[in-house]
């Protein structure tokens, strides 16, 4: 029997084997699939120190080396934060896999917008206002509302070292590594992605030599959840 191509998946922030289970069930007809759960997510405990992209990349490298078989064709799919890790990994370990897929990849970590700074100032100021007698019972609700408006929801859902890791990785722009990627690369995006703009997908594809770009109409950030058939068909074509 012909050996199946190994499809390694690095989930995004808060992703796990469970969140990818429906896609994996579909893809297993064509690929040998391995979801690499990252420390702090799924069954992997958080590290004892504050990791950045480099440390996560080393973790993924070790997993791939231990799981792939000799002469087996390998594809690495990085989604969102997983795409950030995959980009760093391929820049430093160019031959660790045969092909790369970046989906909704968080490659560009741009300085915070003025809007976010304003909202954060309001949120901090609100601590004083809502500490006044009669208003403190509204403080928690208003703080969540303000931070949600400022686009910092993931930050507020984390605590402890996981929050510190989030703060670190969201400041690590890995776009400088894109031109160093030399293996066949597929950039796939949903045109309705509100987490990472499709403009980033276009820019990523332009900066990787020979990269193929696929835009899924009506697709959001979680293509593996809501457009899994289309995503799989694109991956199958790319793998041949």
Q: Could you read off the pLDDT of 89-122 as tens digits, one per residue?
A: 999 999 999 999 999 999 999 875 444 444 455 5
Give the SS3 label for residue 83: helix
Mean pLDDT of the chain: 87
Least Cα distance to 197 among 105, 119, 114 occurs for: 105
Q: What is the pLDDT of residue 115?
A: 44
Q: What is the pLDDT of residue 121?
A: 53
Q: How big is the chain by its Cα radius of gyration, in Å?
A: 19
C-alpha distances in angstroms, 173 versus 17, 93, 179, 210? Answer: 26, 18, 14, 22
pLDDT at 13 over 60: yes
Domains by residue range for the chain, with CATH? 5-109+172-239 (3.40.50.1820), 114-164 (no CATH)
Q: What is the pLDDT of residue 133?
A: 58
| 65-90 burial code (b ≥16 CB/10 A, e <16) | eeebeeeebbbbbbbbbbbbbbbbbb
Question: What average pLDDT does this structure show over 169-173?
Answer: 95
């Amino acid at each position: 029997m012909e050996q199946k191509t190994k499809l390694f998946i690095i989930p995004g922030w808060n992703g796990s084997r469970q969140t990818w289970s429906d896609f994996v069930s579909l893809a297993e007809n064509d690929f040998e699939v391995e979801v690499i759960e990252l420390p702090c997510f799924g069954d992997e405990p958080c590290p004892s120190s504050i990791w950045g992209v480099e440390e996560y990349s080393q973790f993924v490298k070790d997993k791939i080396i231990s799981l792939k078989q000799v002469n087996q064709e390998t594809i690495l799919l990085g989604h969102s934060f997983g795409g950030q890790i995959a980009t760093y990994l391929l820049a430093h370990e160019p031959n660790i896999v045969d092909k790369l897929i970046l989906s909704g990849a968080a490659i560009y970590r741009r300085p915070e917008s003025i809007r976010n700074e304003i909202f954060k100032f309001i949120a901090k100021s609100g601590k004083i206002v809502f500490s006044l007698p009669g208003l403190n019972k509204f403080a928690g609700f208003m703080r969540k509302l303000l931070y949600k408006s400022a686009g910092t929801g993931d930050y507020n859902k984390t605590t402890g070292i996981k929050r510190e890791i989030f703060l670190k990785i969201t400041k690590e722009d890995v776009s400088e590594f894109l031109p160093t990627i030399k293996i066949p690369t597929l950039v796939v995006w949903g045109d309705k992605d509100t987490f990472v703009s499709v403009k980033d997908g276009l820019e990523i594809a332009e900066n990787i030599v020979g990269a193929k770009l696929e835009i899924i109409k009506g697709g959001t950030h979680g293509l593996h959840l809501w457009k899994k058939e289309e995503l799989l068909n694109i991956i199958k074509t790319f793998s041949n």
